[in-house]
Amino acid sequence: MTLKTGFFTLCKALILVAGLVATFSPHGAMATEEGDVKNSWAFNLTLYGWMPGVDGKFSAGRFNKSVDASFIDIAEELRNFPLAFMGRFETHYERLGLYVDGNYMDLDFEPRFDQGISKGLSSQLGIMEYGVMYRLFGTPAKEQVGHWAEKTRSNMLEVYAGGRTIWLDNQVEFRGIGSASASESLTSPLIGGRFTVEFSPEWFVQVDGNGGGFGMDDVDFAGSVMGMVGYRTTLFGVPTSLEAGYRALRLDLKKRIIETNVIMSGPFIGLTGYW
pLDDT at 47: 93
Q: How far, in Å, CA of 118 to CA of 62, rounded?
A: 12
* 136 pLDDT tier (thresholds 50, 70, 90): very high
pLDDT in tens, 2-22: 444 444 544 554 454 445 444
Q: What does pTM read for this prediction?
A: 0.76
Amino acid residing at 134: Y
pLDDT bracket for residue 255 (50, 70, 90): low
Domains of the chain, start order:
5-26+40-270 (2.40.128.100)
Q: 122 Cβ partners below 8 Å, 6+ apart?
A: 106, 107, 108, 109, 169, 170, 171, 173
Q: To which H or E segment does residue 14 belong?
A: helix 5-24
What pLDDT is attached to residue 246? 96
Q: Percentage of residues in the chain with pLDDT exceeding 90?
A: 39
The pLDDT confidence band at residue 30, using thresholds 50, 70 and 90, is: very low
Report the chain's mean pLDDT, rounded to a whole number.
78
Amino acid in the structure at residue 210: N
**pLDDT for residue 193:** 98
